Structure 1
Amino acid sequence: MEVEHQLARWDGYVDWRNKPALRGRHGGMLAASFVLVVEILENLAFLANASNLVMYLSEHMHFSPKDSANSVTNFMGTAFLLALLGGFLSDAFLNTYFIYLSSAFLEFLGWLILTVQAQSASLRPAECEANVPCRRVGGAKAAMLFAGLYLAALGIGGIKGSLATHGAEQFDEDTPQGRKQRSTFFNYFVFSLATGALIAVTLVVWIEDNRGWVWGFGISTFTIFLSIPLFLAGSKFYRNKIPCGSPLTTILKVLAASALNTCVAVARSPNNAIASMSASPAFGTSMKMENQQMTKKSSKSLDLLETPSDSLKFLNRAVTRMPAHKLLECTVNEVEDVKIVLKILPVFGCTIMLNCCLAQLSTFSVQQAASMDTKLGSFKVPPASLPVFPVIFIMILAPVYDHLIIPFARKVTKTETGISHLQRIGIGLVLSIVAMGIAALVEIKRKRVATDTGLDTTQPLPITFFWIAFQYLCLGSADLFSLAGLLEFFFTEAPSSMRSLATSLSWASLAMGYFLSTVIVSIVNSATGSAKNKPWLSGPNLNHYHLERFYWLMCALSILNFLHYLFWANRYKYKALNKG
């Protein structure tokens, strides 16, 4: 009975009461379905205001178009970058279950502060008066604004760094069926993101524009609060991974040991013991003898008896000598884990430019649409509702991709994944290039209409906002392919002790994309502004911007980034279970 009970356990996992998780009772698609529902509510709470925040800052807090765009990108970037903190804490100290609950509470407090500020006129700057410059929010009122925003950002980051990993951990990666279900989960996780976004950019944005921002912030506050009991409802089904200690400690330890042993090797003669071991056919046997001695002080003998791989050979020095200090004692598995992390970083870096393009969806593209005719019959569409086009497309494409495209690709390629993760990411990069080219052409058309109408007009231009939908459609499709591909790629390829942190790289890429957008705008304005010429992206009126030139620049940078990506993608070798 004891043996049978032991076999029924999920090794390395516990339930919400910290008791061993059991097969057949914990994990599986039922447990993951709670995560998918919670993600709808979480993303609704986030995007309900993030998609329209640029208008709130410009119209109610009296930011300039450039400053409001940069403030939104900084907020979004910070929220996504803090996913790394959530992922780190999930791997090192707590688990994804508790990180989600604490992060949701922090996000709730952030939206609550902003709801109170939107409700009280005394907490906002005075309304603009005719022929009097608007006074931008400042002092304690600005402090309250940014306190609410960045408290919400802290909660959002923790959720992004834990929720997707929590759902993916519910599946058995040792079976083909479990891995296929996990792939389906990631596709539907993006579907859940899109579902929350659809409600946010339609119903909630309409409420904000017609009933006031107190309703918008209030909906976010209520929604994220509602997600907490719904998440708790699945507690008895979850299997929660036991934290394995700080992954950063392992990475730094291996790098330090490798560097120290390299310095020792350089300091000694070429015929020293290290060089002899590296060159000798008996290197593996010699190292095993050293490791056998070390196992007297360590319980990791099985790991230490392995031989390191030939890739990134400079890291192998971390296990070719007795450590200078016991704190620098490394196993071969730890060295191999660090190698995997270093190999996925170039892929991560290549997606930052794509997310820089995606940042335009919530900044300049919204402002473009606001200057155009947004009427649909007798109904006036809020500019912030434009993301509805890519969102609906994602909701249609995600199930089609999972149930039709992937099964067909599996039959054709005879691989488990059908379309590899890196291929999905590459498709997203190509679509972002197309999107920026379309955005430039649409802006040229919009500027011609503005020139004919009068550049200083404050009335909507006689051109339909549907022209902007094309760039939204391409960028939304790019988001589907790249985000789902990234999430699954990092989770699948990363060492099991670093999965939350590695998966958080998907969101960190978004963060860096938003920050890069801010940096590029600042560099462009510095480079193009002079005593005779105004900067491309400066001033209160979008019609005087050279936005089309900015989009062409983004298109060119995206092409260079794609070539860079091909270099690394062609050299990447998948782990054994995920070839193809």
Structure 2
Amino acid sequence: MEQEMEKRKIEKEEEEEEEEKWVLDGSKDYKGRVPLRASTGAWKASLFVLTIEFSERISFFGIATNLISYLTKVIHEDLNTAAKNVNYWTGTSTLMPLIGGFVADAYTGRFLMVLFSSFVYLMGLCLLTMSQFIPSLKPCKSSICRKPRKVHEVVFFLALYCISLGTGGYKPCLESFGADQFDDDNTEERKKKMSFFNWWNFALCFGLLLGATVIVYVQDNVGWGAAGLILTIFMALTVIAFYVGKPFYRYRRPEGNPLTQVLQVIVAAIRKRNLTNPSSASLLYEVPKSDKSQGRLLSHTSRLRFLDKAAIIEDKNIEEKENPWRLATVTRVEETKLLLNVIPIWLTSVTVGICVAQGSTLFVKQAAAMNLNITHSFKIPPASIASFAAFGTLVAVPIYDKIIVPVLRKVTGNERGISILRRIGIGLTFTVIVMVVAALVEAKRLRAAEKNTISSVFWLIPQYLLLGFGDSFSLVGLQEYFYDQVPDSMRSLGMALYLSVIGIGSFVSSFLIIIVDHVTGKDGKAWIGKDINSSRLDRFYWMLAVINGLNLCLFLLLARRYTYKTVQRRTLQNDGVEIIP
């Protein structure tokens, strides 16, 4: 008897070792086989992803942070028009990922979409560089120019929107592809994935720091052509490095149009609307755990019970089970619930995007009207002041990941330290504080301007640092939320939803500028006028502080009632998975 028990124990240990050896989350290696844990994924693969993200962020922020200066100084747009054009471009860049993420999840897969989008992005950088070097495409024939050539404006904006198009496939897929390198069913890799989102944002902000300082300095003191050439070469090198890492990646195959599956659940539930939900969830239809075709299975939840009717087995015959428009699995029903659950959180997160939009538009114009001199011979480019936001995040992320999270894990027992929504809530609180500080600083700057005194640009440091601290909670939390809380088959689309928060925020910011300008401009005292000193940005910031405060209250109510995704863990033992080396 003891020998038999010892034998079973040894067999169990061998099975556990075999299970640990392979990655059984539905991903494949580059040859289409079940991935070997030791040679694929985790940090060895995600470092390639972080490298190309770092390169792209230098390019994007090097352009975005100084774009309003280019539009006002070279293309000679007024402040109102330039701010709206920056917001339109930023908004487009962060809404295009909704299309790219959908196409990647449904048809191409993330790796191929990243490669394709990188080439489109490179084409945009090449056009941007050419518009500065080719004589017929330059802004003007001579150094003195009051109005640029039309052909330059066309090529310049074409380059910008090529970059937006490249971002559309690049951004949602790259981050989700990096997170795919960690196995959710493995405790250690799951913890590493939580750190991955922190260090992703660290790489992003380091790129912002270099883009807003080094690249902006080159743009202002050497030329936009030289800056574009540097960005193009660096991007090309990192795209090559990303491709070299191909053998180390774990890949997920596209599963077809995920929105069709959601529609099938809704149609099936409507067809069975007159049926009564069973007393036990075990009576609802679900595929066997041994069936790997559907990926990870989700546990039943009590929310949105009407949709459970889609999983009621009306006629126990094969035909109904083969018709997804009449019968859905519990997992498909729960995936539909997840998407419906995400919508309110997405809507209340838009104010984060509004706050971020100020950092690259109105905050920069404030800086341009202030004393930028550090010494008599060195002057800070106005856009470089945005680097303090990146610095705030660079300081906050390591402290949070290496000090605060380990302490909170011991205190709360939560793997993340605090829940995702609590982290986002802290970030939303920072958005209120940022707007209040910005309003106070701007009011002080205007009082100094009335006395013909030029304020120091370092007055803006507190609001940028607070913006960076807030981003380390809100943006990182939103990244993790939209990756983790959407169906596994829609993770690229989930990251696109995160990016759309910033995009919609930019468009809403432009809309608010238009409305505020229309309402306050009637008496000739517009809050956002043609120049910064005739404006009343402090009042605009107070308005944003109130909007953010009300939104925070609504978010807290939603967070208290939120139910997180619960996944059924698979094991090698009960799945009977055939391992193909």
- Give the TM interval when normalised to the shorter protein: 0.7 to 0.9
* Counterpart code for 2:410: K
8 Å CA contact 1:421, 1:489 repeated in 2: yes
Aligned to 2:333: 335
- For residues 212-246 of structure 1, the C-alpha deviation after alignment (integer angstroms, 9 at most, x for no partner) is 11122222222221221111121111111121222
* Counterpart code for 1:575: K
Aligned to 1:198: 209
Are 1:562 and 2:559 counterparts?
Answer: no
**Structure-2 separation of matches of 1:129 and 1:529:** 36
* Counterpart code for 2:493: L
What is the CA RMSD across the aligned residues, in angstroms? Answer: 2.9
**Structure-2 separation of matches of 1:384 and 1:503:** 27
Aligned to 1:458: none
1:260: how far off?
A: 4.6
* Counterpart code for 1:28: A
2:26 is paired with a residue whose SS is strand
* Counterpart code for 1:135: K
Residues 415 and 61 (structure 1 numbering): CA distance in 2 closer, same or farther, change over 3 Å?
same
1:51 is paired with a residue whose SS is helix
**More displaced 10-residue stretch of structure 1: 5-14 or 560-569:** 5-14
Give 2:512's match in structure 1, choosing from 498, 517, 520: 520
Aligned to 2:131: 117
Aligned to 2:375: 377
Aligned to 2:28: 14
**Structure-2 separation of matches of 1:396 and 1:283:** 47
**Structure-2 separation of matches of 1:8 and 1:485:** 30
Are 1:496 and 2:479 counterparts?
Answer: no
8 Å CA contact 1:61, 1:124 repeated in 2: no
Aligned to 2:438: 439
Aligned to 1:157: 168
Are 1:96 and 2:87 counterparts?
Answer: no
* Counterpart code for 1:108: L
**TM-score, length of structure 1 as denominator length:** 0.87
Residues 86 and 377 (structure 1 numbering): CA distance in 2 closer, same or farther, change over 3 Å?
same
- For residues 327-369 of structure 1, the C-alpha deviation after alignment (integer angstroms, 9 at most, x for no partner) is 6242221111010111122112111111101100100110110
* Counterpart code for 1:174: D
Q: Give the 5 Å matches for 1:412-423.
A: 412-423=411-422
How many residue pairs end up in the alignment?
542
1:21: how far off?
A: 2.5
* Counterpart code for 1:505: L
Q: Give the 5 Å matches for 1:315-334.
A: 315-320=307-312, 326=323, 328-329=325-326, 330-334=328-332
**Structure 2 alignment gaps of length 5 or more:** 1-14, 569-581
Aligned to 1:225: 236
**Structure-1 separation of matches of 2:142 and 2:446:** 27
Aligned to 1:269: none
**More displaced 10-residue stretch of structure 1: 554-563 or 211-220:** 211-220
Give 1:473's match in structure 2, choosing from 457, 462, 465: 465
Residues 216 and 259 (structure 1 numbering): CA distance in 2 closer, same or farther, change over 3 Å?
farther
- For residues 307-334 of structure 1, the C-alpha deviation after alignment (integer angstroms, 9 at most, x for no partner) is 9542112222333457799462422211
1:452: how far off?
A: 1.6
**More displaced 10-residue stretch of structure 1: 25-34 or 112-121:** 112-121
8 Å CA contact 1:60, 1:127 repeated in 2: no
1:500 is paired with a residue whose SS is helix
Aligned to 1:404: 403
**TM-score, length of structure 2 as denominator length:** 0.87
1:195 is paired with a residue whose SS is helix
1:405: how far off?
A: 0.7
1:136: how far off?
A: 6.3
Q: Give the 5 Å matches for 1:220-299.
A: 220-262=231-273, 265=274, 274=275, 277-278=276-277, 281=279, 285=283
- For residues 88-120 of structure 1, the C-alpha deviation after alignment (integer angstroms, 9 at most, x for no partner) is 222211222111111111111011111111224
* Counterpart code for 1:33: L
- % of aligned pairs identical? 35
Aligned to 1:571: 561
- For residues 119-157 of structure 1, the C-alpha deviation after alignment (integer angstroms, 9 at most, x for no partner) is 245435548999x9x43664x443322211111011122
1:533: how far off?
A: 2.3
Residues 98 and 434 (structure 1 numbering): CA distance in 2 closer, same or farther, change over 3 Å?
same
1:478: how far off?
A: 1.1
1:209: how far off?
A: 0.4
1:351 is paired with a residue whose SS is helix
**Structure-2 separation of matches of 1:6 and 1:427:** 37
**Structure-2 separation of matches of 1:359 and 1:328:** 43
2:27 is paired with a residue whose SS is strand
